[in-house]
């Protein structure tokens, strides 16, 4: 009889709990998840650039591969500049974004000359940095071709006796090229006219660590498949990282050396030297 009463009591309590649950306010069980507040949630990463009627007040950028840039090489005059470098897919770059002499992030796009002047003649070269495609002068230029490479992959040997330097020169100024030696700026002359070359001055290599100590008249020799030339130093200057005039072609046979300035990323050491006439 006692167990029967206990079961009755338990049943009664369960019924009361159910009744109480039904009596709770309806809002106590309600909840909601708000949708993302950003209207560009999930926006695409590639789209065609659009020029808005308000003059571009609404930001619209091309984030596709056709606008991507390969960063400039370490130690190059433009390595600390934003929006500079070579296009990842140059064949896809819109015509309005690149062209002979056009400036990309304050740096003139270096285009090849109109003719190969390996034989020692001169050819027309776009006037770098002016934004004009009309040649302004006749300059010397020698294009880098497969026939000018040595078996070790270099384009030549640079020697500066006064600082005890002998170093191979390789095509390009990216980290891979400068890990092997000095680097020749791609798109510039390798023999006639101006030959721009860059090098490290500390870290993995220290090839150009003392070029800023050179004096006027110190000699530099550069040997390539086309022969050996001797140059005399005419200037040692600290220039702005934005100053790329040292890459410009020249009607005078000369060589221009670049390296970083330690702890001063906004500057470069620039050494200029002209050919010594026999």
- pLDDT tens track of the chain, all 278 residues? 556 665 666 666 766 665 555 554 544 445 455 555 555 555 555 545 455 554 444 445 555 555 666 776 666 655 656 666 666 666 555 444 443 333 333 333 333 333 333 434 333 333 333 333 344 458 899 999 999 999 999 999 999 999 999 999 999 999 899 999 999 999 999 999 999 999 998 887 899 999 999 999 999 999 999 999 999 999 999 999 888 899 999 999 999 999 999 888 889 999 999 999 87
Question: What's the gap between Cα 16 and its chain centre?
Answer: 76
| Residue linked to tokens 């092997």 | 180
pLDDT at position 211: 96
Spatial contact of 186 and 198, defined as CB atoms under 8 Å apart: no
CB 142 within 8 A of CB 118: yes
pTM comes to: 0.55
3-class DSSP assignment, residue 162 = helix
CA distance 133 to 257: 27
**pLDDT given for residue 129 in this prediction:** 37
What are 149's strand-pairing partners?
none
How confident is the model at residue 204, as a pLDDT? 79
pLDDT at 28: 47
The structure tokens 């000369």 sit at: 254
Which CATH superfamily is 142-275 part of?
Answer: Sortase (2.40.260.10)
């Amino acid at each position: 009889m006692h167990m029967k009463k206990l079961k009755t009591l338990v049943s009664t309590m369960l019924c009361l709990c159910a009744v109480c649950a039904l009596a709770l306010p309806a809002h106590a069980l309600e909840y909601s998840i708000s949708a993302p507040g950003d209207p560009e949630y999930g926006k695409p990463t590639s789209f065609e650039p659009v020029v808005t009627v308000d003059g571009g007040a609404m930001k619209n950028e091309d984030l596709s591969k056709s606008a991507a840039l390969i960063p400039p090489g370490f130690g190059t005059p433009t390595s600390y500049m934003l929006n500079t470098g070579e296009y990842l897919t140059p064949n896809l770059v819109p015509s309005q974004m690149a062209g002979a002499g056009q400036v990309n992030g304050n740096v003139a796009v270096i285009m090849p000359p109109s003719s190969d002047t390996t034989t020692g003649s001169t050819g027309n070269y776009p006037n770098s940095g002016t934004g004009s495609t009309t040649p302004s002068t006749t300059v010397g230029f020698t294009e880098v071709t497969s026939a000018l490479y040595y078996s070790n992959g270099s384009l030549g040997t640079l020697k500066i006796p006064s600082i005890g330097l002998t170093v191979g020169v390789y095509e390009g100024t990216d980290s891979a090229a400068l890990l092997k030696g000095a680097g020749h700026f791609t798109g510039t002359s390798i023999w006639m006219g101006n030959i721009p070359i860059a090098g490290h001055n500390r870290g993995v290599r220290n090839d150009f660590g003392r070029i800023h100590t050179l004096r006027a008249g110190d000699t530099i020799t550069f040997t390539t498949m086309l022969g050996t030339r001797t140059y005399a130093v005419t200037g040692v200057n600290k220039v702005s990282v934005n100053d790329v005039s040292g890459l410009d072609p020249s009607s005078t046979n000369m060589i221009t050396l670049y390296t970083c300035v330690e702890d001063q990323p906004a500057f470069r050491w620039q050494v200029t030297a002209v050919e010594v006439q026999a």
